[in-house]
Amino acid sequence: MIEPSNPFFDTWSTPFGAPPFSRIKSEHFMPAYERAFAEHEAEIAAIAGQTAPPTFENTVVALENAGRALQRVDDVFGQLVGTDSNDTLLRIERDISPRTAAHWNKVRMHEGLFARIDALYRARESLGLTPEQTRVLERHHTKQRREGAALDPSKKQRLAVIVERLASLGTAFSQNVLADEQSYTMELGPDDLAGLPDFLIEAAKAAADERGIKDKHIITLSRSSVEPFLQFSSRRDLREKAFRAWIARGDNNGATDNKAIIAETMALRAERAKLLGYPSFAHYRLDDAMAKTPEAVRGLLEKVWKPARKAALADRDALQALIAEEGGNFRVAAWDWRYYAEKLRARRCAFEESEVKPYFQLDRVIEAAFYGAQKLFGLTFQPVDVPVWHPDVRSWEVRGPDGNHIGIFYGDYFARPSKQGGAWMSTLRDQEKLTGNVRPLVLNVMNFNKGDPTLLSFEDARTLFHEMGHGLHGLLSNVTYPTVSCTSVLTDWVELPSQLYEHWFEQPEVLRKFARHYKTGEPIPEGLVQKLMAAKNFDRGCQTLEYISSALVDLDLHLLPSAEGLDVNAFEKMTLDRIGMPEEVAMRHRPPHHTHVFSGGYYASAYYSYMWSEVLDADAFAAFEETGDIFNPEVARRLYQNVLSTGGSRDPAELYVAFRGRLPTADALLKKRGFLDATAAA
């Protein structure tokens, strides 16, 4: 019997060159990684070992073309670990993450390679490069320098050890959070369903069925499960139980506890920054961001914190009054906030979430997201049969206004035990033109509770539009070089397309067209649309504090010059006390389960970037509103040309000015969140 070949060693003849998921088995990854590492090392050695003087073509272009086999393996492996993991894949991840870090250390610290890049960088103004080529050269030089290529050998050696260890710690952190989320279920008996709407009861039954727990209802630690439970359950004891389990992920003093991992991570990050000449990791990380400095980040966060806190405290008092009115003799706690906020919204805004949800069927919200893309950019989405990694995954071919193929878009929308929590966008192939007109394979991942049909909350629907915005950033990329393709941009710029696209979901024009009752097909009542618009900023104070507190704890941790003796829980409390965090409000992400920050370095000391991008997105949407047409074709054209198609090929500030004619101020954000009056009062 002939053993089947490893798919990673073959040319993929699948439609659109999509990964052949049915052929890819766990045992294929390690041999594929081994070969890909070796190929990439040989390619780097060949580039660095040339006797010919460095040119853009023989050094930078060659570097852009190197490592393609490794990229292909990495893209597929990362996708499967995130969305359909198993014990074998998790073992491979624990093994491969430090080896991948070690491999990239060799590349980024390669003395000969850096010498060639540095020579080109110093002469860049005389090379006759295009703006995109100049940016690509600058990004390679910046990456090499920031990874330690210019350090002396002893510092390089220590830095390599740090980076490899951080990779192992990041993997352990994320797997611990996943394990805590997978292992916890709260079983609900008939008396435990009090207050829960039908859609949540159905979702709780589906979650039990998926885990083989027949004829039961369970709440899991998926955000789409636990947050609605906290919102609707009238059982205060069960709300507290679910809430405490939710905030204790990674903080359980057991085998999956992340506190020691955080302490070691912080110590290594601080040491890494010092080796590279920075006073703290935050200074190092932000030096390669739009914000540039910790002071700029803190300035924005604290400017918004003050009016948000004032609004949240006023809402807290209103919730406490509501409890007293109902005869309660307890002080509002964090596990009460969503429940009584829902009651307060019903009173203030004259509607409840349960009235709205029947109008937001998943398929209709997807259709609305596609409609926005068609109106703005002329895109069409047609279902297409390509290999997928799970039966729930959907796929569409995306075509442009001229009918030409743009890319493939995958949607993986449902929560399952094998899937990491949260929502994200990624790619299985990026757009580029270096090796021909390579079109992207873009995917959106969410964790909605599967139902028949699946009904979304207003926030769930907003999340879908958010990830679709990232998806458009990937689909509409139109650059030559892989290094600056798709979402390969600075962290505090990457959230602009996603947060900007959320605005279209909230528009009455879109709601009237797509928000239809899942049973009757009737459009959402005009009165309810107006109530939704009037209530956009309801509870925004609490939501803002949840986010900013997480961002400030992240920033403060990474400003530590040393993490010696770090007690992360004590540090968290100290920061929250300093900023005046109301004890009735919980952080959106506590450090022990903040995977954005500790499962890798991308958002480390950069969780603020969502708010930095929100300054941009609030001002950017105003460009449409000012014309009186939220789909204004001229503004959409400028958005495409200067934001969505450009990837990282130009400086973000330059791109924004080209789109808007100026840089924004925080006033647009304060107005969007309903805080301008509070700011004036403060």
Active-site amino acid positions: 467
CA neighbours closer than 13 Å in the CB half-sphere of residue 628: 0
How many CB atoms sit inside 10 A of residue 616's CB?
26
Q: Give the residue from 402, 444, 395, 396 showing the smallest Cα distance to 424.
A: 444
CA neighbours closer than 13 Å in the CB half-sphere of residue 18: 22
> CA-CA distance, 504 to 45, in Å (whole number)?
49
Bridging pattern class, strands 441-448 and 405-414: parallel
> CA-CA distance, 636 to 623, in Å (whole number)?
10
Exposed, middle or buried, 537 (CB in 10 Å: 0-12/13-18/19+)? middle
Q: Give the residue from 135, 75, 65, 67 showing the smallest Cα distance to 648.
A: 135
Q: Give the residue from 34, 56, 73 showing the smallest Cα distance to 483.
A: 56
Residue with tokens 């009651």: 343
Cα separation of the two ends of the chain: 78
Both tokens of 639, joined, read: 């958005």
Which residue stretches of 626-665 are H helix? 633-639, 652-660
Residue with tokens 């405290």: 313
Both tokens of 373, joined, read: 């893309």
Name the residue type at position 81: V
Contact between 117 and 137 under an 8 Å Cβ cutoff? The reply is yes
Both tokens of 10, joined, read: 């073959």
Both tokens of 500, joined, read: 């900007």
Both tokens of 509, joined, read: 């024009």
User: What are residue 530's phi and psi, to 5 degrees?
Assistant: -65, -35
What are the start-end ranges of the E strands in 323-383? 380-383
Contact between 648 and 529 under an 8 Å Cβ cutoff? The reply is no
Q: Give the residue from 598, 623, 597, 622 showing the smallest Cα distance to 610.
A: 597
Bridging pattern class, strands 217-219 and 394-399: unpaired
> CA-CA distance, 415 to 362, in Å (whole number)?
13
Q: Give the residue from 85, 277, 267 showing the smallest Cα distance to 179.
A: 85
> CA-CA distance, 139 to 493, in Å (whole number)?
15
Give the CA diameter of the chain.
84
Contact between 550 and 594 under an 8 Å Cβ cutoff? The reply is yes
Contact between 636 and 682 under an 8 Å Cβ cutoff? The reply is no
> CA-CA distance, 430 to 407, in Å (whole number)?
10
- Give the list of residues 6+ apart from residue 228 with CB closer than 8 angstroms, or none: 200, 203, 457
Residue with tokens 């491999």: 103
Q: How long a stretch of residues is the chain?
A: 682
The sign one gets for the Cα dihedral 582, 588, 591, 597 is negative
Task: Please compute Rg for the chain using Cα positions.
Answer: 25
Residue with tokens 């005389």: 126
